[in-house]
Chains A and B, each alone.
Chain A
Amino acid sequence: GNSVTQMEGPVTLSEEAFLTINCTYTATGYPSLFWYVQYPGEGLQLLLKATKADDKGSNKGFEATYRKETTSFHLEKGSVQVSDSAVYFCALTSSGAGSYQLTFGKGTKLSVIP
């Protein structure tokens, strides 16, 4: 079955530091890959996505590249802000039957300190 593995948190960074959150996946076929963000007390918001190998998703300074050869979709940001403090989830949908289901990783909590 499908699965997503994220680096364990929590991650604490100083403002303007470089961020990497690792994500690897197992899936049949050609999944679509997503990063969702959950701010305290709020629902999940789609941060970025990539639908095929070598695609780069980007939004709000965050980037992730779909690497099929390493089955990875690592999230990066060059300079984090306090407002980026949230829980980040890597997720996928498979390309076959049941492709409407999102499979999530466990999430990585990011805290950015001034």
Chain B
Amino acid sequence: DTGVSQNPRHKITKRGQNVTFRCDPISEHNRLYWYRQTLGQGPEFLTYFQNEAQLEKSRLLSDRFSAERPKGSFSTLEIQRTEQGDSAMYLCASSLPGPPNYGYTFGSGTRLTVV
């Protein structure tokens, strides 16, 4: 297992189009997280899954955003009707069960540019 994998690495899309990103976590990790990182800022929490259940969503996750983890393995993050403000790095992370101070493993991210 080579860590958390995210695809694509880069995505350029026109405003108004839909985009979907994929995250493959470390296989034994049952927790999966999505974060968004804009230029010059730290990552901000978007949502969290434990197995296939989406247990928490941030207020940042507007109605245009939807995340799924249908079989408790990989996850997808879809953005509908993209806006220029959606341009950011979307980071996925996964972790084992247990206290959060065990730390997470992050993927390299998907950089979205909306033109």
Binding site for B on A (CB under 8 A): 4, 32, 34, 36, 41-46, 49, 51, 89, 91, 93, 98-107
- Report the bound CA distance from A102 to B106 in whole Å: 12
- Interface residues contributed by chain B, number (CB under 8 Å): 25
Knowing A43-B4, A44-B91, A106-B40, the reply to whether A49 touches B101 (Cβ < 8 A) is yes
Residues of B within 8 A of A106 (CB): 40-42
- Report the bound CA distance from A103 to B57 in whole Å: 14
Residues of B within 8 A of A46 (CB): 103-105
Instruction: Give the residue name and chain of the A residue nearest to B46 (CB).
Output: A101
A105, B42: Cβ atoms closer than 8 Å: yes
- Report the bound CA distance from A39 to B95 in whole Å: 21
Knowing A32-B100, A51-B101, A93-B101, the reply to whether A104 touches B44 (Cβ < 8 A) is yes
Residues of B within 8 A of A91 (CB): 42
B67-115 residues with Cβ-Cβ distance < 8 A to A are 91, 93, 95, 99-101, 103-109
Which of these, B33, B42, B56, B95, contacts A89 with CB under 8 Å?
Answer: B42
Knowing A4-B42, A101-B48, the reply to whether A41 touches B108 (Cβ < 8 A) is yes
Instruction: Give the residue name and chain of the A residue nearest to B102 (CB).
Output: A49
For this complex, 23 residue pairs linking A to B, each with C-beta atoms less than 8 Å apart, are: A4-B42, A32-B100, A32-B101, A42-B108, A43-B4, A43-B106, A43-B109, A44-B91, A45-B106, A49-B101, A89-B42, A91-B42, A98-B56, A99-B99, A100-B31, A100-B33, A101-B100, A102-B35, A102-B104, A104-B42, A104-B44, A106-B40, A107-B42
